[in-house]
Amino acid sequence: MATGAATAPYELRFDSGRICLDLLATTHPAERLDSVERLRMWIAGAGLVPPGTRLAGTDARWLTDFRELRGQIGRLVRGELEGRPADGALARVNAWAREAPPAPYAVRTEEGVLVRRLRTPPGREELLAAVARETVELLTDPRARAGLRQCQGDNCPLVYLDTSRGRRRRWCSSEVCGNRERVARHRRRAALARG
């Protein structure tokens, strides 16, 4: 699973606080879901399936549907943040959420640790439902919804869930946008000192 630091232009990020927001992050700074293989990597990295789960039958339709869901979630979340409801997006997300998500169960490993498994290999609709349901849960939970923030980094469109003490987090990632801001601030101070 990726951390908050982006070392490559197409590194997948899982630091927004929710899977549905991590899906939104796959558009910035460029398209990160650019192949079926990248989608499989995102599904596993987001924790939608237990490690080692085979995603048989993953094809271009999966990619198209996940990108469409991402667009609807983006319209819905940004609409809620900006006070302009996106009811069309809400209807689409609700439609995806109707499907049952993959059914998990716990098994004990030889070491005695409980791990999650899925009853059957997950299908496209089930995984889309899991992300859509999480979106519904996020936006209908007043406490969680109050923690939604737009990154204050220059030209960063990402949205994250601020769970910091005092809810004073300003950036999608301290290592990415926060570091850029600190470097820019240092350069401005250095330029003023020289000038």
pLDDT digits (tens, 9 = 90+) for 79-99: 999 999 999 999 999 999 999
Q: To the nearest 10°, report the CA torsion of 138, 139, 144, 150.
A: 100
Amino acid 140: pLDDT: 97
The band of 35, judged by pLDDT with boundaries at 50, 70 and 90, is very high
Q: What pTM does this model have?
A: 0.86
CA dihedral (6, 9, 12, 16) positive or negative: positive
Does residue 167 surpass a pLDDT of 90? Answer: no
Supply φ then ψ for residue 68, to 5 degrees. -65, -45
Cα 84 from chain centroid?
A: 22
Amino acid 157: pLDDT: 92
Higher pLDDT, residue 3 or 137? 137
Does residue 146 surpass a pLDDT of 90? Answer: yes
Amino acid 177: pLDDT: 83
Least confident range from 7-21, 29-43, 174-188: namely 174-188
The band of 190, judged by pLDDT with boundaries at 50, 70 and 90, is confident
Amino acid 58: pLDDT: 96
- In degrees, to the nearest 5, what angle opens at C-alpha 137 toward C-alphas 139 and 76? 35
Mean of pLDDT values over 47-73 = 96
